[in-house]
Amino acid sequence: MKPSGLRRSERPMVWLFLFPMTAIYVLMFIFPSLRAFYISLFDWSGFTASMRYVGLGNFRELLGDDYFWSVAFVNTLKILFIGGAIIFAIAFLLSGVLSTNLRGKKIFRAITFFPTVLSPIAVAILWSFIYNDRWGLLNSTLKLLGQERLILTWMAPEHLFGSILAALVWMNTGFYCIILLAALDRIPQQTIESAYLDGAGEMQVFWRIKIPMIKDILATALTLWAINAVKEFGLLFAWAGGVDIPAAGATNLAVKMYVTAFGRRVTVYRMGYATAMGIVMFLLVALLVFLISRAFRSEVFEY
């Protein structure tokens, strides 16, 4: 259905229904957001009342900030795209199996969802025990299988990001899997069966039938992932035990922004500069949300 024009009789309803949301949103969200943009024009520790106006100085500095772009921004993009591709691939695979008539379906579903509810702190510790160089689960298993040549120091700087990404995938997949599952469950079985009878292969059914039929939910899931991926914070931050600022392999935009604003033993305390970083994050998410809604537009609006 397309939104209809305003009827006279609907006017009071429009005002009544919109007012509480708009009031809270403007006062508690838009206004502080604008204030945040304003803050990004200042050099400010966040502790004193005095703020030094620097105009676009923070943004100029940010553009030349090598660490921010080459480490934090790149890692965020990797989480977003590489991590996202893996998560959705696995989520599709698992939900595909789970949507068939499987024995113990409910239990499998619950278990798949389980990592989502774990505290990121617990996940970080669990995985750091898995990756331990000498007695970690991973290297022990490799030794057991006689694959000594695959043994690595998994959390050494050059492998750290990949290792954390694996943990991140494990932690997040269940959530998206459950969402996709809900979508797949509602595809009429006959549609798929008749496609098979028509001689369509597994891949064809997936791309031609399943994906189009779950497009709307897929759009929501992707939007959610885009937002969560850019804002991902807990696991990376917990990786350093919460005692130190995370190493390069565990730094993304959200982590970098947090430690720039609030420090973590390292007393950076640069609210204005961190706010400028936040604006970059905002622009990134806004762009992604826009692109996703564009890509799925026909589905969302044409009913």
Partner 1 sequence: MIFFKKLLKILAKAFLVAWCLFSVLGFIWILITSLKTNRELFKNAWGLFTEPQWDNYASIWTSFKLSRNFLNSIYVVSLSVIEIILVCTPAAYVLSRVKFFGSRALTSLVVFGMGVPFQLLLIPLYFSMHSIGMVDSLFGLSIVYCALSIPFTVFLEMGFFRNLPTALAEAAYIDGSGPIKTFLLIMLPLGMPGVITAAIFNFVSLWNEFLLALTFLNSDTLFTLPVGLFGLQTSMQYTGKWTTMFAGFVIVTVPTMVIYMLLSRKIISGLTMGAIKE
Partner 2 sequence: MKRILVLLLVLSLFAALLPAALAEPVTLEYACMFTEGEPNAQWLKDIIPEFEAQTGIKVDITFVGRDVLTKIKSRVLTNDPPDLVDQDHSELFAAFLSGDETLLTDLGDFLKSENWDKDGTVADQFNMAMLEMYAKDGKVYIVPFSFITSGFFYNKNMFKEAGVEAPATWADFLAAAETFKSKGIPFIGHDGQISFYNAYYYYWAVQRVMGAGNFLRAATDATGAAWDEPGFLEAAKMVFEISKGGKDYFAKGYEGSAYPAGQSDWAMDGAAVNLNGAWLPNEVRDLVENWDWGFFPFPVVEGGQGKVTDMEAYLLGWAIPQGAKHPAEAMEFLRFATSRANADRSVDTTLNIASNKLAKFPDVHKDVGIYLANATNFHLSYDGVMSKAPQWWADVFYDLDNKLFFGTITPEDFISQIKEKTIEFYKNK
Judge whether 155 and 128 are in contact, CB under 8 Å. yes
Q: Which of 9, 50, 267, 298 is the binder for partner 1 (CB under 8 A)? A: 9
* Of 173, 167, 23, the residue nearest 111 (C-alpha): 173
Residue 271 makes contact with partner 1 by CB under 8 A: yes
Region from 14-22, 62-70, 92-100, 283-291 binding partner 2, contact rule CB under 8 A: 62-70
The residue (of 158 and 298) whose beta carbon lies closer to partner 1 is: 298
The residue (of 54 and 181) whose beta carbon lies closer to partner 1 is: 181
The number of C-alpha atoms within 13 Å of 286 and in the hemisphere containing its C-beta is 6
Residue 17 makes contact with partner 2 by CB under 8 A: no
Instruction: Provide the minimum distance between the beta carbon of 142 and partner 2 in the complex, in angstroms, as a whole number.
Output: 14
CA dist., res. 217 & res. 213, Å (int): 9
Residue 31 contact, options partner 2, partner 1, none, Cβ 5-8 Å cut-off depending on partner type: partner 1
Q: Which of 41, 71, 98, 245 is the binder for partner 1 (CB under 8 A)? A: 98
Residue 53 makes contact with partner 2 by CB under 8 A: no
- Please, which residues have CB within 8 angstroms of residue 121's CB and are 6 or more apart in sequence? 234, 238, 242
Residues 158-177 that bind partner 2 (CB under 8 A): 159-160
How do 42-43 and 52-53 pair as beta strands? Answer: antiparallel
CA dist., res. 73 & res. 230, Å (int): 9
- Site size toward partner 2 (CB under 8 A) is 44
DSSP-derived 3-state class of residue 54:
coil
CA dist., res. 29 & res. 50, Å (int): 24
Report the chain's terminal Cα–Cα distance, integer Å.
5
And the tokens for 167? 């943990």
Residue 33 makes contact with partner 1 by CB under 8 A: yes
Region from 18-26, 99-107, 191-199, 266-274 binding partner 2, contact rule CB under 8 A: 266-274
Which residue has 């997949």 as its token pair? 173
Instruction: Provide the minimum distance between the beta carbon of 243 and partner 2 in the complex, in angstroms, as a whole number.
Output: 7
Q: Which residues bind partner 2 (CB under 8 A)?
A: 45-50, 61, 64-67, 71, 128-129, 131-134, 153-157, 159-160, 239-245, 247-248, 259-260, 262-263, 265-270
